[in-house]
Amino acid sequence: MKCAILTFRDSRDEVYATRNSYIVNCSRILEESLEKEGIEIIKLCEPLCSINLIKKEISKIQKMEIDSIILHVPTWVDPINVIAANVIANRYNLKTIIVGNNYNESASLGAVLVISGALKAAGIKCYKINYDYENENGIKYILAFIKASSVFRNIQGMVCGRIGGKALGIYTADVDEAQILKQFGVIIQDIDQLRLVQDSPTISKKDVDEQFSWFEKYCGLIEYDGNILTKEKLLQQCRSYLVLKKVVEEEKYDFIGLRCQPELSDKVINQCLGVALMNDPYDAKGAKKIIPCACESDIDGAITMLILNKLSKKPVTFGDFRIIEMYNGKNIWTICNCGAMATWFAGKSEDYRKNLNNVHLLPQVQGKAGGAATQYVLKAGVMTWARLGRINREYVMTITKREAIELPRSYLHKSKWPWPHAFLKMDISDTDRFIEKWPCNHASGIYGDYVKELEIFCEMSGIKPIIL
């Protein structure tokens, strides 16, 4: 991620001369703190004190694929210069954050309040923080802003392949394309599921056999039953995945939603294996690009997954809000799905062999055509879960940070035995509120705490965040 830093100073040279070394030191600490976190810093000039120079610098910045600008106010500055920088950056759709401090000797706080007050009076959204240069924790909000800005800017123009349209009359999976274009800058392109059937013969037997052998070699268990799950049906699922991958590559889709039910799952073959692999960072060919893929052509779900993927750079899980119930004195939120969760979550390892060793391919219980489901229990860890939804046609995002725990595989008999499951700890008081506030049946999650990043992203997108 690239971020530019524009540092400002008092326009009075005699005042600046007494504070020059202080400004240099503050700038160095800020830059080094961000670079430690993997942010590429672009610094083009000495401290700014004129609008003309500000225009030139931001004009250079907007050509450098930078997503955000830090307006650094280490001391008292001429407020008009920072105000102008904010307005000029907005013209190029570059997000800005004003970084000042609360040190007595700097007089920064007064300048930041004048600047932010002027922007608020004009109805211009501004982000600001008083950064403590001596406390590394202070960098967290700035990092969250940079990451959110990067996602906000980079998903614009991305293309979602909607393959097959709304499934099973699930209204929350459908969207207004014009609203999506306006809200997120995302383009939706429709193709029919028939394409996957038509293109199936173009996949070579060699590639299908390679993918099949990969599963047979590395999965912890494959439970053929001679009926629902046979070698022939697993081979067909491998072919279906490879044709889906081929279509995505040919159409240049950034992320997708696949209808599946009921045409493919009843009349062709269950698509769960393919959806899981689209969400994975690997397949039999080795490392590959993660393509966020939502079941039932759930476009709001797919966009949620895209946002989470761009934040974390890792796979995103997708499942159904199953039940909230007590287990051994703990309140547990169960999320499961017919098989579309990425296999990566079975081991949370960069080594696919460790992940697949925890995956059992079992006879699917959803769809008449048969095939395998990818059974496992999602690995423990702190996670952020989210979901876009609409209230009275206006977008909200429901967000929560939860601890995932691992229950015994035998517990899955109580739910849907062949399916992958996630189990999240909850307070007893959360239950009614969750059921009231969660906007649909689907939820998506990533490891780590990204609540603040999502909250800032929502603000930038004109979306109300609902934090649970």
Domain closes at, from 154, 181, 210 = 154
- What local confidence, expressed as pLDDT, does residue 330 receive? 86
What pLDDT tens digit does each residue of the chain (468 aa) get?
A: 899 999 999 999 999 999 999 999 999 999 999 999 999 999 878 999 999 999 999 999 988 989 899 999 999 999 999 999 999 999 999 999 999 998 888 999 999 999 999 999 999 989 999 998 877 667 999 999 999 999 999 999 999 999 998 888 888 889 999 999 999 999 999 999 999 999 999 999 999 999 999 999 999 999 999 999 999 999 999 999 999 999 999 999 999 999 999 999 999 999 999 999 999 999 999 999 999 999 999 999 999 999 999 999 999 999 999 988 888 888 999 999 988 899 999 999 999 999 999 999 999 999 999 999 999 999 999 999 999 999 999 999 999 999 999 999 999 999 999 999 999 999 877 788 888 999 999 999 999 999 999 999 999 999 999 999
Q: Are residues 218 and 79 in the same domain?
A: no
Q: Are residues 186 and 43 in the same domain?
A: no
- What's the CATH code of the domain at 226? 3.20.14.10
Q: Are residues 190 and 90 in the same domain?
A: no
Q: Are residues 337 and 397 in the same domain?
A: yes
Q: Are residues 149 and 163 in the same domain?
A: no
Q: Which residues lie closer than 8 Å to 64 by C-beta, 6 or more apart? A: 2, 4, 42
- What's the CATH code of the domain at 100? 3.40.50.1070
β-bridge mates for residue 161, sequence order: 189, 256
Asked if 437 and 396 count as a contact pair (C-beta separation under 8 A), the reply is: no
**108-121 vs 79-91: helix crossing angle, rounded to 10:** 50
Q: Which residues lie closer than 8 Å to 377 by C-beta, 6 or more apart? A: 346, 358, 406, 407, 408, 409, 412, 420, 421, 422, 423
What's the pTM? 0.95
Q: Are residues 394 and 449 in the same domain?
A: yes
CA distance 51 to 79: 11
CB atoms within 10 A of CB 325: 14
CA distance 257 to 83: 42
- Per-residue burial over 60-88, b = 16 or more CB atoms within 10 Å of its CB, e = otherwise: ebbeeebbbbbbbbbbbbbbebbbbbbbb
CA distance 295 to 361: 19
Q: Are residues 163 and 72 in the same domain?
A: no
Q: Which residues form the domain of 311?
A: 159-467
Q: Are residues 325 and 402 in the same domain?
A: yes
Phi first, then psi: give them for residue 200, nearest 5 degrees. -55, -40
Domain closes at, from 154, 183, 212 = 154
Q: Are residues 303 and 448 in the same domain?
A: yes
Q: Are residues 85 and 10 in the same domain?
A: yes
Q: Are residues 140 and 206 in the same domain?
A: no
Domain total for the chain?
2
Q: Are residues 94 and 229 in the same domain?
A: no
Domain closes at, from 94, 121, 154 = 154
CA distance 76 to 107: 5
